[in-house]
Amino acid sequence: MRRFFLLLLFVASAFSEDAVKPESLGYKLVWGDEFDAKVLDAAKWHTGYAPKVHPLGCNNERQSYAPENAMHRDGHLVLRAERKAREGMPFTSGMVSSHDKFSREYGWFEARVRLPKGKGMWPAFWMLPASKTWPPELDIMEHKGRLPNRAFLTLHEKQPGTWRPKSTGKEWDGPDFTAGFHTFALEWLPGGLRWYVDGVERHRWNGKADFGPMYIILNLAVGGDFDGDTDAATPFPSEMEIDYVRVFAK
């Protein structure tokens, strides 16, 4: 019995990691959305990409983003994917983007989300340059619906002599992100990037990170190169739920 008790203590200590709060690092809230209103705040969000950014069908995605697929429910923003044809695509889905409304360089960027399950579901929380150029791209979180407990944490940066970006990232296995809400955050510093899942650092990149101001995107793509096409078991409608988005600065 004593040996079993010591084993339990070892397992508990191995998985008990203190969560970091941005306020404890000297950050203060400068922008965000708690999604407590009944409609989307048009002063903060668009429901589509910036003009000439990420055209229809990019990455072989199979959805068309419709404004009505970004909805509010019970204090959450809900991005819903449906098997409904639009603009020549077999699915509709939802997204929000802060382009031309909010962008900044450096800080702590965080969202609390619940992700959908099912092959071909591709939810993401990411950032693009306010200059409308690409790369860089900061993927705070990407997820494959067929891998419920895996988060993809990635930087795509410019690579001299080619349009193709240099991609540096980590695939991190944690809890089932489709079973409940979890926080994903990026601490963006002049000398590097730190990715946090539920307040615990899971990946870091060290380097010159003067990418210029960037804006925020949350979207639910369907199909595409990342997780492949949906299959017969993929549920529709599927939803990505966002409890809040918060941005902190020092």
* Residues identified as active-site: 137, 142
Q: How far is CA 58 from CA 3, 49, 130, 225, in A?
A: 56, 12, 20, 9
**Alpha carbon distance 67, 46 (integer Å):** 9
Answer yes or no: are the C-beta atoms of 81 and 237 closer than 8 Å: yes
37: number of Cβ within 10 Å: 11
Q: How far is CA 92 from CA 13, 143, 176, in A?
A: 45, 19, 25
**Alpha carbon distance 31, 103 (integer Å):** 10
* Element housing 89 (H / E): none
Q: What share of the chain is helix, strand, coil (3-state, %, to 5)?
A: 10, 50, 40
Answer yes or no: are the C-beta atoms of 66 and 222 closer than 8 Å: no
Residue 30 class from Cβ within 10 Å (0-12 exposed, 13-18 middle, 19+ buried)? middle
State the number of CA atoms in the 13 A half-sphere of 178 facing the CB. 18
Answer yes or no: are the C-beta atoms of 81 and 115 closer than 8 Å: no
